[in-house]
Amino acid sequence: MHELSIAMSMVEMATEEAAQQGGAQVRALHLRLGKLSGVVKEALLFSWEIACEGTPLAGSQLVIEEVSVAVYCPVCRTERELASIQHFFCPVCQAATPEVVRGKELQVVALEITEDHQGVIL
Ligand SMILES: [Zn+2]
The per-residue pLDDT for range 28-59, each reduced to its tens digit, is 999 999 999 999 999 999 999 999 999 999 99
Distance 89 CA to ligand 1 centre (A): 8
- Count CB-CB contacts under 10 A for residue 94: 11
Distance 24 CA to ligand 1 centre (A): 49
Q: What is the pLDDT of residue 109?
A: 96
Q: What is the pLDDT of residue 22?
A: 85
Distance 121 CA to ligand 1 centre (A): 35
pTM (2 d.p.): 0.83
In the predicted model, is pLDDT for residue 7 greater than 60? yes
Helix (H), strand (E), coil (C) string for the chain: CHHHHHHHHHHHHHHHHHHHCCCCCEEEEEEEEECCCCCCHHHHHHHHHHHHCCCCCCCCEEEEEEECCEEEECCCCEEEECCCCCCCECCCCCCECCCEEECCCEEEEEEEECCCCCEEEC
What is d(CA 99, CA 112) in angstroms, rounded to the nearest whole number? Answer: 34
| 71 Cβ neighbours under 8 A, 6+ residues apart | 79, 80, 82, 88, 90, 97, 98, 99, 100, 101
Those residues whose beta carbon sits under 5 angstroms from the ion ligand 1 are 73, 75-76, 90, 92-93, 95
Distance 39 CA to ligand 1 centre (A): 28
The per-residue pLDDT for range 51-84, each reduced to its tens digit, is 999 999 999 999 999 999 999 999 999 999 998 8
Distance 93 CA to ligand 1 centre (A): 4
The per-residue pLDDT for range 97-118, each reduced to its tens digit, is 999 999 999 999 999 988 654 5
